[in-house]
Amino acid sequence: MAKDLYESSEEAKRLLELANDILGFRITDIMFDGTPEELKQTKVTQPAIFLHSVVLAKISYDFNPDMVAGHSLGEFSALVANGVLSFEDGLKLVSQRALAMQKACETNPSTMAAILGLDDAVVEDICSSIDEVVVAANYNCPGQLVISGSHKGIELACEKAKEAGARRALPLPVGGAFHSPLMEPAREELEQAIDATAFNQGSCPVYQNVSAQAETNVDTIKANLKTQLTAPVRWTQSVQAMVADSGTTFIESGPGKVLQGLVKKIHREAEVASI
């Protein structure tokens, strides 16, 4: 991850070496040459994705967005991209977020599953009908909703989703029930870190996961970010709001092209590209 950036750009090299200093270990060694197991370490995965996304945006001379958004972890990258957070503060928060989430996962073993081919309202009704912790977590695109909760809750919800006609109800290989009430311990820990961090006026609106609408007020952005870990990622609604506000071209910054695919499923006429 990002090795080509490190070797071809002095600014990328500077930022990645700064990240090594901030994190207290050489994350670049793992990003460039690490095994899949090493990359899956909690303290590595989230900072690595954040770094790849942010460094790409930072070294792109023509990167000047009119609006930004990020999916879950990506919201922190978006807030660095529009200047609400500094690179250093964004990385520190992402690192603290990852470690807090790991602790919450160890306290409350839990999981997630992708439900494909059902209306959101049907999946929401299924979740609310189960006497376990299970909630809608990621509204990725029409017909693709990720649910989050206890192992038993997810098992029951997957069974009911199949009975309701879901094309697939697929348990995901994740460490816990992200974006659910089971992340409350992590939310509390991250809230303290957010309160201790400087937030600036952004260069453009951010469409946040929690509200799915354009946000420019710093206090509102902070409040939404504090609740993000226990609230659903409203990606479908965020993209729809961006389109309604004249968003036509969506540029993805980071590893992979998953968000480009989701954007096209949400709005076929959208233009998508990578940095």
> CA dist 260 to 46, 73, 150, 208, Å?
20, 16, 30, 17
**Exposed / middle / buried, residue 85 (Cβ in 10 Å: 0-12, 13-18, 19+):** buried
Please tell me which residue in 52, 71, 179, 267 is annotated as part of the active site.
Answer: 179
- From CA 193, how far away is CA 216, in angstroms rounded? 21
Please identify which residue in the block is written with the tokens 């990328």: 12
CA dihedral 220, 238, 257, 151 (to 10 degrees): 80
Please tell me which residue in 52, 53, 71, 72 is annotated as part of the active site.
Answer: 72
> Catalytic annotation on 211?
no
- From CA 24, how far away is CA 84, in angstroms rounded? 24
> Catalytic annotation on 60?
no
CB atoms within 10 A of CB 64: 8
Which of the residues are catalytic?
Answer: 72, 179
